[in-house]
Amino acid sequence: MRIERVELRRVRLPLVHEFRTSSHAKRELEHILVTLTGADGAVGWGESASPSGPFYSAETVDSCWAVARSFLTPIVLATEWEHPAELAGALARVRGNHFARAGFDIAAWDLWARANGVPLARALGGQRATVEAGVSLGIEPAIDDLLTQVDLRIAEGYRRVKLKIAPGWDVAPIKAIREKYPTFPLHVDANGAYPPGDTGVFEELDDLGLLMIEQPYPPRALLAHAELQQRITTPICLDESIEEVDDLLTVLRLDAGRIINIKVSRMGGLTPALRAHDLAGVPVWCGGMHEFGIGRAANVALCALPGFTLPSDVSGSDKYYARDVTTAPIVSSGGLVDVPTTPGLGFEADLEFIAGRTTDLFQA
Ligand code: OSB
Ligand code: MG
């Protein structure tokens, strides 16, 4: 297969509810939609879901845009491939820049699955018909606001609730939620906001029956995570620490984490996410980056793989967007999201809506 045409679109969508983490607050998101057109005119869609600023990883929308135009597009146009993993291998000549690469890799998988007439989940090797959905809740102005959000999402049927924590917003809000919901599956995510070696908060949280504690320390602090895991029984889950499949192997060898958050965006696409799933050997779940419908559909497809045994951050589009970029939104019902059975991503891009939300277009 050869790609004859690449299009990149910067697309903005407002969030229905402000999302705050330890490092930033967001009301609107801008992601890059990637389309790859084959010789027969068939089109595959992908999404680079980088945050705007370099606070989650080093990437930004601007860095993705620059790397996609100057380095990834020329590689895609020059590479002859039979399977998406071959294109991903060529793109991996670019170091890092995983969010940028993910947009191209997803588009290649969509195109390839459509060409073969199979749903993306089946193309990846997944068999599940539905996947369990969890939600991620940001830091709220007050504990009552957080309780309102938790009540709403549990009433909607979500199977697990993840709560963002940061210094000053940790033990008290989590205890309040735990008192109201003594057994509901809860976990916390610190996005690396605590200094390595700072164990006190996590020792207190260790008594609250959490499913896991996600990314307590900064990404490269693997030894600090390993030392913390020795002191607490709640499994540590690593997110930002695992950019490469090799990071996963290091984490497991060090016992720096016992659960893995696999993110298509963070790892550079479905190809590395699939390898991470195959190699993990510990419980995994699929994390999200507030993806629009294209990236969200890729996440749903990945979750159909057998190793995704924990509920994932694959909430319905409506949790984030009043209107999504696909003609039909992704829906969570009773905490389950259906895995599409039509070829490719299983969702169609809403071209007219996307055109109205596009702030920049690149074609090659
Ligand atoms: O750490 O999982 C994270 C969003 C932006 C940056 C980092 C994270 C998140 C989320 C969102 O938690 C989860 C989702 O997409 O539903
Ligand atoms: Mg996280």
What pLDDT, on the 0 to 100 scale, is given for residue 339? 98
CATH of domain 3-117+349-363: 3.30.390.10
Rounded Cα distance, 241 and 220, in Å? 6
Nearest-CA residue for atom 8 of ligand 1: 289
Rounded to the nearest 10°, the torsion over CA 107, 109, 110, 113 is: 160
| Distance in Å from the first CA to the final CA of the chain | 17
What pLDDT, on the 0 to 100 scale, is given for residue 257? 97
Alpha carbon of 242 to ligand 2 centroid (Å): 11
Reduced to 3 states (helix: H, G, I; strand: E, B; else coil), residue 80 is strand
Question: Which of the residues are catalytic?
Answer: 164, 263
Query: For residue 290, which of 135, 149, 152, 160 has the smallest C-alpha distance?
Result: 135
What pLDDT, on the 0 to 100 scale, is given for residue 305? 98
For the beta carbon of residue 350, count every other beta carbon within 10 angstroms.
18
Which CATH superfamily hosts domain 122-338? Enolase-like C-terminal domain (3.20.20.120)
Q: Mean pLDDT over all residues of the chain?
A: 97
What pLDDT, on the 0 to 100 scale, is given for residue 22? 84
As for ligand 1, residues whose beta carbon falls within 6 Å of it are: 56, 136, 189, 191, 239, 287-290, 313, 315
Q: Which ligand is nearest to the CA of 313?
A: 1
What is the model's pTM? 0.97
Hey, CA dihedral for 112, 117, 118, 119, is it positive or negative?
positive
Q: Which long-range contacts (CB under 8 A, 24 or more apart) does 236-239 make?
A: 236/212, 237/187, 237/212, 237/213, 237/261, 238/214, 239/189, 239/191, 239/214, 239/215, 239/263, 239/266, 239/287
Site to probe by mutation for ligand 1, drawn from 21, 153, 292 as the one with most ligand atoms within 8 Å of Cβ, is 21
| Amino acid letter for position 47 | E
Query: For residue 124, which of 253, 245, 299 has the smallest C-alpha distance?
Result: 299
What pLDDT, on the 0 to 100 scale, is given for residue 24? 85
Alpha carbon of 178 to ligand 1 centroid (Å): 21
Alpha carbon of 116 to ligand 2 centroid (Å): 34
pLDDT digits (tens), the chain, 364 positions: 999 999 999 999 999 999 998 888 999 999 999 999 999 999 999 999 999 999 999 999 999 999 999 999 999 999 999 999 999 999 999 999 999 999 999 999 999 999 999 999 999 999 999 999 999 999 999 999 999 999 999 999 999 999 999 999 999 999 999 999 999 999 999 999 999 999 999 999 999 999 999 999 999 999 999 999 999 999 999 999 999 999 999 999 999 999 999 999 999 999 999 999 999 999 999 999 999 999 999 999 999 999 999 999 999 999 999 999 999 999 999 999 999 999 999 999 999 999 999 999 999 9
Tokens in use for 90? 């060529």
Rounded Cα distance, 18 and 26, in Å? 6
Q: Which numbered atom of ligand 1 lies nearest the CA of 313? A: 16
Domain residues of the chain, as ranges?
3-117+349-363, 122-338
Hey, CA dihedral for 59, 63, 64, 67, is it positive or negative?
negative
Q: Is 69 exposed, middle or buried (0-12, 13-18, 19+ CB in 10 A)?
A: middle
